[in-house]
Every structure is written in C-alpha cells, then in structure tokens.
Amino acid sequence: MVLSNRHYTRYLIAPITLSLMLSACSTASKTSAPDNTAKSDTDDTRIDNTHSEDGIDKIGISMPTQYLERWTRDGNNLKASFEALGYEVDLRYAGNLIDTQIDAIYEMIDDGVDVLVIGAVDGLSLGKVMEKAHEAGIPVVAYDRLICNSEYVSAYVSFDNYQVGRLQGEYIRDALELDKVTGKIYNIEFTAGDSVDNNARFFFNGAMDVLKPYIDKGTLKVPSGQRDFYTVSTSQWSTETANVRFQILIGSYYSGDRKLDAVLCSNDSTSIGVQDAIRDNYNGGNDVVITGQDCDVENLRRLMDGRQSMDVYKNLAYEAGVTVMLVDSLYHGKEMSQSLIDSWNLDYECVYDTQSYDNGKIVVPAFLLEPVEITSDNMVQELVDNYGTYVISEDGSLQVAE
C-alpha cells in the first residue's frame, strides 16, 4: 500500500485560520500573542516521495519517555493498534532526552518508515529532523504534544489541553466555594509543567483563566507571588523538581500560621512532588485542595486516601485509536475534516480544530478529544464501569486493565 501524494496534498493545503489562543510555540515572548506569521502552505512538493517502495507500511513511533506511566501506555496502545491493522511498527522511547529523540527519528527516516508519529520531548527542537522527514516525503503526526516552528507537521492528535486546565481551575473554584460571598480569603500556589512542552502552557492558561478573576478580586491570594508560567513551570515534569520547589516555598511562605488552601498542579507527576512536600513540611493542619492529570495508578490511590483532590482523565486508548484511524484513513485517500471523524463512528467526542494550534509556522490541523474530571466519588463509575480501562484490585485500589 503506497501513501499517495495526492491525498496528502489535499489536506496540507487546507486554508489557515489564525489562532485565537496564545501560542506556546513562540519563543520570542513568554506571554506573546500568537505568531501571526503562520502561513498557508501551498507547497505540495514536500510530500512528493514516500518510502513505501519496499511495499511494507512501516510506522515510526517516537515517544518521549518511559519514566511516566502514560507514555508507556501510549507506546503500547499505538503499537498494538497499528499492528492490528497490518502495519509494521518501530517504537522508540527517548528517555526524556532531546538528542536521543532526534537521533532515533533520523534513524527511522533512514530505515524507510512511511509515517512518523512523534510525542515530542521538546516541541521546539525538532525543526531540522522535520525538514529531513519532509525531504524524504514522510508525513509526521504530532502525538499529544505539538511540534513547534515547523511547517512540516501534517496533523496533531491530542486532548483539548486548554479544557484540561479549565477542569482543574473549576475544581479549585468549586472546592473553595469562591463564588460564595463569605469575605474569606484563600491562599493558592501554582505548579505548571515543562515549559518546552507546548501543552503545559495550554493547561496553565486554562486554569488561570478560571482562577485569575478571583485573584484580581482578592478572594484568592498567592503568598509566594509566583504566578507566571515560567516561574512555576517544572523541568521535565519532574516529581523531584516540583517537590524541592515546594519544600522551599512552604519553608519561605507557610512556616508561620498562614494556611495553604489549594495548589494547582498541572499533572500527576508534579502533584506527587507537591503532595509529599506538604506532608513533610506543612504544619497548617488543613486539607489542601490539590489537582492532577493522567490518572496514574499511584495518584488514584492518593485520590482514595484524600492526599489528592481531583484528577483529569484522558483516555489514552482513544488518543491512540484516533491517531491510528487518522493515519490509516489518509493512507486510503481520505481528507482531514470533521466528516472524516464522523465516518469513524466513534462512541466518544473528537473535534476537528483548525484554529487553536498555531505552531509558529502553520496552524496545525488538530484532532481533539475530551478530558474528564475524576474525583474519589466518580472514579470507579468512570474508569471501571464506563471506560473499562481500570479494574478494582484485591486491595480495593484501581489498576490499569490488561
């Protein structure tokens, strides 16, 4: 099966609409509006060649790391789903190292993969290797994390990252009852993700858009004053980095009788670091509202025992499923559109978005799935009964279903 140039030409020259959202892909300014230089690319030569002359349809998958639970699941899901459709798969993990990822992608290009699916370690560092993929006629699907500053990203499959942050912000708003007029002032602190991960700013902006009005009103205070994305970001989403930062923060701002009421944590790995710093260093005696994302098994345990207040679930099987269906549809000459999604007859929401993901060079057509709020109250109902992606183990904790 040969990937036809014609098909890719059609979807790559879709009209470009300027993004209305902040583009995290821009390095020029930390808070700048989208780079309006995003261009409509009508150069169809870049998809002239594919590597399918050998007759084998090979997918190169590059995932960022195996250290975090989710990416191992992503790799396994993608591999199994592609293989079920008869594709050959080369799956590599980068150990969170930019150079390892780049080297692996070069190797896969040289090996003649037909399509690349990439979960970027650093969305800003893949420019050169993307050019090489383009020269070799290999389409690239950005998986979960956007690839920035390259016109050669064919499509992006992810969740509605802004909505993930909104769910976290709304949870904090409701848990602290910020809309009730009580005259009470609450203290909050922030922990965001890795600043080189395009998603991290979307999560942060989503949460901030919910919480900022309360900060402006004075209902919420940030005693550390640390509330801009770069200051609160966490390199490599590291548990340890988040933990150390929070130990210092608690020591500096919460050593007296000041109460810490809530911490926005953009994901589960950083949330664990914050929770442990609170356990070891905070003496306020109150429960702190703490968010997360990914529903890692350890975090679900912590939801049950109250150390974490909420989580955001992103069904990774859906994400891999949409990626595989997209690649396979394009192989079969379909165009990217909302009706393509409709033709898959999914029993879950997936939206075709041609506006939100400006990568600094083009607005990348995105296929976005819906994140879901999880608490100790709905975790069994959603994760076990509804999605069936977790099972209840003998000790009552949730484990990932085989």
Applying CB under 6 A, the residues found at the interface with ligand BGC are 68, 70, 144-145, 193, 197, 199, 237, 267, 293-294
Beta bridge partners of 35: none
Nearer to ligand BGC, 247 or 266 (CB): 266
Considering beta carbons, is residue 8 or 237 the nearer one to ligand BGC? 237
Among residues 77 and 267, whose Cβ is nearest to ligand BGC?
267
CB of 48 to ligand BGC, least distance (A): 32
- Which residue is nearest to ligand BGC, using beta carbons? 267
Minimum separation from the CB atom of position 336 to ligand BGC (A): 22
Residue position matching structure tokens 């809530």: 262
- Tokens 């956007």 — which residue? 146
In whole angstroms, how far apart are CA 399 and each of 176, 266, 303, 379? 30, 22, 13, 12
Complete DSSP assignment for 229-260: HHHH--GGG-HHHHHHHHHHHHHHHSSSSPPP
Of the candidates 46, 63, 49, 51, the one whose C-alpha atom is nearest the C-alpha of residue 114 is 51
Q: Which is nearer to ligand BGC, 144 or 189 (CB)?
A: 144
Residue partners of 288: CB distance under 8 A and separation at least 6: 260, 261, 262, 263, 278, 282
Minimum CB distance to ligand BGC smaller for 35 or for 294: 294
Nearer to ligand BGC, 140 or 178 (CB): 140
> Smallest gap, in angstroms, from Cβ of residue 143 to ligand BGC?
10
Strand, helix or coil for residue 325: helix
Quote the least distance from Cβ 152 to ligand BGC, whole Å: 20
Of 107, 123, 110, 102, give the one whose Cα is nearest residue 196. 123
Closest CA to 295 of 194, 220, 388, 390: 390
Length of the chain: 402
Closest distance of CB 199 from ligand BGC, Å: 4
Smallest distance from ligand BGC to CB 351, Å: 17
Instruction: Count CB atoms within 10 A of the CB of residue 203.
Output: 31
> Minimum distance from CB of 244 to ligand BGC (Å)?
18
If the CB atoms of residues 87 and 203 are measured against ligand BGC, the closer one turns out to be 203
Minimal distance in Å, beta carbon 67 to ligand BGC? 9
Beta carbon nearer to ligand BGC, 60 or 193 = 193
CA angle 192, 194, 196 (to 5 degrees): 135
